[in-house]
Amino acid sequence: MRKLFRVVIVSLALGVSPSALFAHATLERASPPVGSVVNGSPSQIRLWFTEAIERRFSEAVVIGPSGNRVGRGSASGNQLVISVPRLGAGTYRVNWRVRSIDGHKTEGSYTFEVTR
């Protein structure tokens, strides 16, 4: 029993150590920030995740005030970058779905507002 307990403790210690890099990728921050109001159009939208993400299985789209898609993102490292045209005033929704490099899938959605 004591030996089993040792195995469990050492295994967990190794597993949660900083050197073990993989976990669910969750949104750490974004630019423009989640729920923010920005003055003028951003040139791009950037999302930072807590883990590296798989490029082929990770994506984000930006939906404009009229419901049309205004941008689509591409992944690199722990970021998703979405190039957008000049955005008019209104509320924009960012829908993202990513897969971390160990296969865990996560998704989310948030809005930001552009003012003139």
Partner 1 sequence: MFSIHSVLRITAAIAVLQALSVSGASAHCYAGSRFFPATLVSEDPCVADELSLPTFTTIRTPGSEEEPRTRETTYSFDFAKRITPDFGIGMGRSYVKLKPDGMPTVRGWDNLEVSAKYQLYTNAAHEFVFSVGVDADIGGTGSRRIGSESFSTITPAIYFGKGFGDLHSGLNYLRPFAVTGVVGYGIPSRASTLGLDENSDLSIERNPHTLNTSFSIQYSLPYLQANVRNTGFGSIFNHLIPLVEFKFETPLDRGQRGQTTGTINPGFIWVEKKFQIGVQAIIPANNRTGQNTGVIAQLHFYLDDIFPNSLGKPIFGGRP
Per CB under 8 A, residues contacting partner 1 are 6-8, 10-12, 14-16, 20, 22-24, 26-27, 29-30, 33-36, 50-51, 102-111
Minimum distance from residue 69 beta carbon to partner 1 (Å): 18
Give CA separation, 30 vs 47, 54, 63, in Å.
Answer: 4, 18, 16
Minimum distance from residue 116 beta carbon to partner 1 (Å): 21
Question: In angstroms, rounded to a whole number, what is the distance separating the alpha carbons of residues 62 and 111?
Answer: 9
Minimum distance from residue 16 beta carbon to partner 1 (Å): 5
Output 10 or 72, the one with its CB closest to partner 1.
10
Output 86 or 105, the one with its CB closest to partner 1.
105
Burial letters 17-43, b for 16+ CB under 10 A, else e: eeeeeeeebebeebebeeeeeeeeebe
Output 86 or 107, the one with its CB closest to partner 1.
107
Output 6 or 72, the one with its CB closest to partner 1.
6
